[in-house]
Chain A
Amino acid sequence: QQKVQQSPESLIVPEGGMASLNCTSSDRNVDYFWWYRQHSGKSPKMLMSIFSNGEKEEGRFTVHLNKASLHTSLHIRDSQPSDSALYLCAASRNYNQGKLIFGQGTKLSIKP
């Protein structure tokens, strides 16, 4: 049973458009969320993290977290072809140790 669910499974966005990705944990004890990006044939790399309710922005990327519903979302504005990748959401009960569980990912394709 997947404890971290991501939606949609895949997403096509025109270049310059907004991409919105979702992630929800069914484990009520998680407190920490990360978003990773994985380009084809490469290893995942951390994109953003969020641990408190609210919003966090870094350049074109914004993450939201609602701890009551254990839902996080990633929004990419002005999408570029280089944003085409698999986006993975991960959740953990602890900040620096223990299990870090991933969702199944959202495959984002940016159409020129």
Chain B
Amino acid sequence: EAAVTQSPRNKVAVTGGKVTLSCNQTNNHNNMYWYRQDTGHGLRLIHYSYGAGSTEKGDIPDGYKASRPSQENFSLILELATPSQTSVYFCATRENTLYFGAGTRLSVL
């Protein structure tokens, strides 16, 4: 089974601060995704990537940047965090279906 590791698992940030969420995969999948999950919204796609050096905007990219420096690593960057970005963030890789990491719970105060 795909191994997708997210760090940190929990994060408390201050409004206006910079936050970086990291995702590492060991299965050599080309496609990686960042979603956020809020009650009543299911999973919403923020950014995704087809491979190293590639990033694509998802449905809700505003306020987020993504970076894919290698096949294994895909980061989500909040340059100026806001309370509305408080959420649970999931990274996933895709080979046919999605394989999710355990999630990062982010609170922006």
Contact = CB atoms under 8 A, between A and B. Distances in A.
Task: Please say whether chains A and B are actual partners in one complex.
Answer: yes
A101 B59 contact: yes
A4 B59 CA distance: 13
B45 interface: yes
Interface stretch (A43-51, A52-60, A69-77): A43-51
Nearest to B43: A102
Given A97-B31, A97-B50, A46 B45 contact: no
28 contacts: A4-B42, A42-B102, A43-B90, A43-B100, A43-B101, A44-B43, A44-B90, A44-B98, A45-B100, A46-B97, A46-B98, A88-B42, A90-B43, A96-B94, A96-B96, A97-B31, A97-B50, A98-B48, A99-B59, A100-B45, A101-B59, A102-B42, A102-B43, A102-B44, A102-B45, A104-B40, A104-B42, A105-B42
Interface of A: 4, 6, 34, 36, 42-46, 49, 88, 90, 95-105
